[in-house]
Structure 1
Amino acid sequence: MGVFSTTSRYSLAFLVMMNLCLKAMASESDIDFSFKNFGKVEPHLALYGDAEVNNHSSSIQISGSTNFSAGRLIFRKPINLVGANPRTMVSFSTYFAFSISGENGDGLAFVVLPVEFPLNIFDGGSMGLLRDRKIKFLAVELDTYMDKTYNDVNNNHVGLDIETPVSVKVGNLSSVNLVLNNGEKLQCWIDYEASGKRIEVRVSKFGETKPVDPLLFYYPLDLSQMWGDEKNGVFVGFVSSNGNSSQKISIHSWSFKSRMPPPRWMHSEPLDPDNVVEIKGEEGIRSIPKRSDCTSRVVLALVFGAGCGVIVAFFIVFVWIVVGSKRPVAPEELAGKGNEFEYKKFGEERAIKDGDGNGEK
């Protein structure tokens, strides 16, 4: 029992140390924060332009004080979207509750901006961004104004903007019976999966569960091409402008979480058409991976198997050393007493038998 308990303690300590090491590696890039309301000015948040805290509703009103109002709400600490390996991007998920009043303004956008973006400068650009400037940015817009300049489909849509206000993908909110600018509180989920290079956007009424199907889905989106060399990280937050209207836009709550992606061998990625060969046969057309792609998968599997083998072998040797070094030892006060007792007893019994025999003769 003593040997087993000692081995269990060593094994448990080994597993705990491995778990702490993995958590420490992940925490270098992971950021997790949540603001359930905004009853006061949070030290981790920065407000620019017309953005201000509305103590009455415990929210942050980003724009809407006057016509041509614009504002920004930014998390102060830069987010690192690149892991230790420059080719390893970090996934993120964000959730926020918002409301937009009934006028037709530019709406609201969740943005990812480079750290050199001039946050305190406004020049009348759409959505509270800057006009005519070559700045890398990613934006998920909740647009309530149909601007033909940017090929908007209507005045009630979600759009994905990559370095330009012209959306590369649009989701029509009218198709899910939602209206952005009726003053009702809504909620939005944005999920970016780095290993799959995809982004998903979901919107629903406040209090409802997260929809299963995304309103907007886009693939491939490789943020390493935009911010692979951004060693100082990027800013995340919200921008808004109301144009020539009195539209008011408020953020009621906000949470954000970044995370390192799992290893490639643990994650199923969308099929890449460039790595597929079509074969025509009697059963129709079948798609199979190219030989180069199969070879790389086999190599990865072999490397992973070898790594697991090394870990298992190390653990077996570790347990064998611990068990082998523990041998049962008799207590010092009992050493040698057992044999002496047996010897004396045998001698006494022999003497009695000899005595009995002589008496009979």
Structure 2
Amino acid sequence: MNQIQRYYLSSSFFLIFHFLPLIAEPISSFSLKSFNGDKDSDFNSDFALLGDAQIANEGNFVNLTSPNSGSSSGQIVYKKPFTFIDSKSSKPISFSTEFTFTITPGDGDGMAFVIFPKVEELSKVFDQGYFGLSGMVDQKFVAVEYDTRKDDNVGDFNGNHVGVDVGNFVSEEISDVSSIGLLLNGGVPLKSWIDYEASSKRLEIRLAESGTERPYNPLIFYPIDLSKMWDSKDLLVGISSSSGNSSQISSLSSWSFEIRTIPSSLHSEPLNPESKMDENQRVPMKKSCFLTILGGVIFATGCGTMLAFIALFLWVIFFGRHSNVVPELPMNPVDFKYEKVDVTVDNVDDESTRLSTG
């Protein structure tokens, strides 16, 4: 396959795998790059720091655990609830989150990103146990753990892995971080991306050193239907850590989170074909029509571009290498020179007389 063929093939895959996120409809989001209420007026009203969590280095990061305690745990929680089914449109909700963290050497639990049902008192679901989350054993929760301690009681195979926990701390899916050349508690800033796609019901986790590009392949791919798990319940998200009996410190230096819906015209099937929306939940007609038309135009443009790439790719494969076109030779005017030639003929009779006389 030549360079042109590879270019059009890669372009086609880019359009296929990156088209849907471009037309997703964002609902709400936040992006934390500082943790100081003096710099961000919304921080104190939107976020809660629990346990030993405290702002450090003038708001540049949050220490979730404290080195001054032999057993420390702490959490940061976004206090605005959300659901995995949009109450206005009944569309399933997708989410994406990314955060940069550092875990110092030590035999602590590490840290975890967690989704859990809203409670009146947050302090009742956090404690000194696994990742500071043991109080959630009576709750339906989903956590992505960044585990730095091997615990045979929950089936850990080493102290350097990422796992998906559903309702308990025996991971449903687990991946060795050593396989990508990273160490969770090496004191090096790491960045993780967690994405849930409602249309395909999949959870993907990626991990890399901070400052590097987002990995193409996920570290973990886990199928799960979060809308079925929680239905329309109000949920919260947070990041929690526990140092165990060590002096391990888990720090968070940035965190962003976004929830969004995919336009219904792009879903292969409705969430519940038999359900109907109440009249007071319907989207206004003008807005609905506009979004439908806009989505259709973007979809048609993307499909047209993709088909053009594919057609050109196939033409290069089947016809480009067998071209029988004969190149035309240049036709330039040529000057010809004509000269007059004088021809002299001797008298034949005189020559014959001389031959006879002799």
| TM-score of the superposed pair, with normalisation by structure 2 | 0.63
Which of 226, 229, 240 pairs up with 1:223?
226
Matches of 1:161 and 1:117 in 2, distance apart?
Answer: 23
Deviates more, 1:184-193 or 1:51-60: 51-60
Amino acid at match of 2:109: D
Post-superposition shift, 1:76?
1.4
* Correspondence 1:51 to 2:53: yes
* Correspondence 1:33 to 2:30: yes
Which of 62, 65, 71 pairs up with 2:64?
62
Partner of 1:163: 167
User: Residues 138-179 of structure 1, C-alpha deviation per residue, up to 9 Å, x if partnerless?
Assistant: 100000001111101210010000111110001111000000
Contact 1:186/1:205 (8 A) holds in 2: yes
User: Residues 164-217 of structure 1, C-alpha deviation per residue, up to 9 Å, x if partnerless?
Assistant: 111000111100000000110000000000110001000000100000000011
Q: 1:171 to 1:35 in 2, by over 3 A?
A: same
Contact 1:79/1:236 (8 A) holds in 2: no
User: Residues 53-86 of structure 1, C-alpha deviation per residue, up to 9 Å, x if partnerless?
Assistant: 0035710011133121011100111123211379
User: Residues 84-135 of structure 1, C-alpha deviation per residue, up to 9 Å, x if partnerless?
Assistant: 3796320000010000000020010001011027421344321101258321
Which of 183, 189, 194 pairs up with 1:185?
189
User: Residues 28-73 of structure 1, C-alpha deviation per residue, up to 9 Å, x if partnerless?
Assistant: xx11110113244722211010000003571001113312101110
Instruction: Look up the SS of the partner of 2:258 in the other structure.
Output: strand
Partner of 1:354: none
Matches of 1:171 and 1:188 in 2, distance apart?
Answer: 14
Amino acid at match of 2:30: F
Partner of 1:83: 86
Instruction: Look up the SS of the partner of 2:134 in the other structure.
Output: coil
Partner of 2:95: 92
Partner of 1:133: 137
Contact 1:138/1:161 (8 A) holds in 2: yes
- Give the aligned length: 244
Contact 1:100/1:184 (8 A) holds in 2: yes
* Correspondence 1:266 to 2:269: no
Partner of 1:254: 255
How do residues 1-361 of structure 1 correspond to structure 2 at under 5 angstroms? 30-40=27-37, 42-43=43-44, 44-56=46-58, 58-65=60-67, 66-84=69-87, 88-116=91-119, 118-121=121-124, 122-131=126-135, 133-219=137-223, 221-230=224-233, 233-263=234-264, 266-267=266-267
Q: 1:229 to 1:38 in 2, by over 3 A?
A: closer
Instruction: Look up the SS of the partner of 2:119 in the other structure.
Output: coil
Q: Which has the larger radius of gyration?
A: 2
Amino acid at match of 1:71: G
Contact 1:101/1:183 (8 A) holds in 2: yes
Matches of 1:129 and 1:256 in 2, distance apart?
Answer: 20
Matches of 1:39 and 1:209 in 2, distance apart?
Answer: 27
Q: 1:132 to 1:94 in 2, by over 3 A?
A: closer
Post-superposition shift, 1:26?
5.1
Partner of 2:353: none
Partner of 2:312: none
Contact 2:83/2:232 (8 A) holds in 1: no
Q: 1:70 to 1:268 in 2, by over 3 A?
A: same
Matches of 1:58 and 1:156 in 2, distance apart?
Answer: 26
Q: 1:218 to 1:226 in 2, by over 3 A?
A: same
Instruction: Look up the SS of the partner of 1:167 in the other structure.
Output: coil
Q: 1:78 to 1:184 in 2, by over 3 A?
A: same
Contact 2:84/2:232 (8 A) holds in 1: no
Q: Is there any run of 5+ residues in structure 1 with no aligned partner, and where?
A: 1-22, 270-306, 313-361
Q: 1:148 to 1:87 in 2, by over 3 A?
A: farther
Contact 2:25/2:263 (8 A) holds in 1: no
